Chains A and B, each alone.
Chain A
Amino acid sequence: MAKESDFYQVYEVFSRRGNKAPMQHQFSLLAPNKEMAMMMAQENFMRREEVIDIWVVKQNDVRKMSSEERQNWTKRLDNKEYRTTKGYGYLRQKWKEKEQGMLDEKEIMSWKEVKRK
């Protein structure tokens, strides 16, 4: 007889809490196929939290970083201010001199409502 371990696969489970939330990794489970994995996922890991969407992915299908890659590929020099707002912070003072406000993240994200004519 085949060993049970031959057909139980590891599935990684992801879920999304709300429309603005990213897909988030939750945990993993054992299931014989993806339909069964899906049927188990919500009640195993999200019994008490909001969920609007779920993905299950067979663990073997995930290209994960190896141990070495995690050690070697994830470290960066701290010299990339030009890539972030941190490198442009001096503008706040400049605009202030010209009696203008800074268009920072808070301001720009608030533009979703445009006054209707």
Chain B
Amino acid sequence: MNPIVETAEQAKQNPEYLKALKELLYQLADDDLLISFRGAEWLGLAPHVEEDVAYSSITQNTMGHAVMYYNLLEELGDGKADDLAHGRKVEERRNGTYLEKRNGEGKYLEDPYYDWALAVVRNFFYETFKKTKLEAIANSSYQPLAYVARKVLMEHPYHLAHWKLWIQQLQSSTEEAKNKIKQRVLEAWEEFGDVLELGTLATDMRKHHLITIGEEELLDRWQKEITEVLLDVPNATLGKRYGSGRNGEHTADLVQALDTLAEVYNSDKSAAW
């Protein structure tokens, strides 16, 4: 029977537990922050106006989820949520590398040759993963986290349905669209691997029942759901071309993301905004 941990104070009693818990929280928070940052860059640039509005709601929800995890970290004494989101260095970030990837060519302020196929594939892959991971956290030994996971799962089905419909729409339409989706799926297959990892403290996370399944099962469940929707599933094993974001390995794209999202924050750290 797994021991229930009701509060932050209780969690702090066991250093090993606390360390694994924080590690898991940073993964959850940073994943949601980075993908919602990329979503925020898309605002105003989506293929048509109605989609722009719908996508932005998903982005806001997702950033709202990140806020809840950062708040849990704040309760555990790691500093203020805003500082955790804006102020941590690249090597301290725990998001999967695929989630920090730029939206395409150009910048959001200048020549944004963003690729909708990347947006669709990335969000579909991510939301499917998020469901799998959160379902394994909904019964976490850390009660405040289990509670947040169940809350997030309430809002999540719309997100997944949204991106699933886009995948289905595009992979069964014009040759051009099919091809673009296929290329982005192949690319994702080489880069998505670390998203499904739990990092160096995976064993402790399982041992303390912070999460109820391990990496292998996470991968299996995710792959099964993806395979049910994708027309073309690559044969290869899932790769992690850019290393593991779970261990603080990241790309230049994360540097760009952090420089942008913290530009005003960095301009005066003493200010209340």
Direct contact of A and B (CB under 8 A): yes
Contact with A along B134-165 (1 / 0, CB 8 A): 00000000000000000000000010011001
Contact of A31 with B57 in the complex, beta carbons under 8 Å: no
Contact of A31 with B165 in the complex, beta carbons under 8 Å: no
Best-surrounded residue of A36, A42, A43 (most CB of chain B within 10 A): A43
* CB proximity of B7 to chain A, nearest CB, Å: 33
* CB proximity of A100 to chain B, nearest CB, Å: 51
> Which residues of chain B are within 8 angstroms of A86 by Cβ–Cβ distance?
none
Q: Which chain A residues in 75-111 approach chain B with CB under 8 Å?
A: none
Contact of B165 with A39 in the complex, beta carbons under 8 Å: yes
> Which residues of chain A are within 8 angstroms of B51 by Cβ–Cβ distance?
40
> Which residues of chain B are within 8 angstroms of A35 by Cβ–Cβ distance?
165, 169
With both beta carbons as reference points, the residue of chain A lying nearest to B50 in the complex is identified as: A40
With both beta carbons as reference points, the residue of chain B lying nearest to A31 in the complex is identified as: B50
Q: Which chain B residues in 19-57 approach chain A with CB under 8 Å?
A: 48, 50-51, 53-54, 56-57
Query: In the docked arrangement, what's the CA distance between A60 and B186, Å?
Result: 41
Contact with B along A15-49 (1 / 0, CB 8 A): 00000000000000111000110011011100100
With both beta carbons as reference points, the residue of chain B lying nearest to A32 in the complex is identified as: B169
Q: Which chain B residues in 151-189 approach chain A with CB under 8 Å?
A: 158, 161-162, 165, 169
Contact of A30 with B48 in the complex, beta carbons under 8 Å: yes
> Which residues of chain B are within 8 angstroms of A40 by Cβ–Cβ distance?
50-51, 53-54
* CB proximity of A26 to chain B, nearest CB, Å: 13
With both beta carbons as reference points, the residue of chain B lying nearest to A11 in the complex is identified as: B50
Give the residue of B48, B56, B162 whose beta carbon is less than 8 angstroms from that of A39: B162
The answer to whether residues A43 and B54 also contact, given A35-B165, A36-B165 and a CB cut-off of 8 A, is yes
Query: In the docked arrangement, what's the CA distance between A36 and B169, Å?
Result: 9
> Which residues of chain B are within 8 angstroms of A43 by Cβ–Cβ distance?
53-54, 56-58
Best-surrounded residue of B54, B161, B165, B169 (most CB of chain A within 10 A): B54
With both beta carbons as reference points, the residue of chain B lying nearest to A4 in the complex is identified as: B48
Query: In the docked arrangement, what's the CA distance between A31 and B51, Å?
Result: 9
The 4 closest A-B pairs by CB, nearest first: A43-B57, A40-B50, A43-B54, A44-B53
| A-B contacts besides A39-B54, A44-B53, 12 pairs, CB < 8 Å | A31-B50, A36-B165, A36-B169, A39-B161, A39-B162, A40-B50, A40-B51, A40-B54, A42-B54, A42-B158, A43-B56, A44-B54
27 contacts between A and B (CB under 8 A): A29-B50, A30-B48, A30-B50, A31-B50, A35-B165, A35-B169, A36-B165, A36-B169, A39-B54, A39-B161, A39-B162, A39-B165, A40-B50, A40-B51, A40-B53, A40-B54, A42-B54, A42-B158, A43-B53, A43-B54, A43-B56, A43-B57, A43-B58, A44-B50, A44-B53, A44-B54, A47-B57
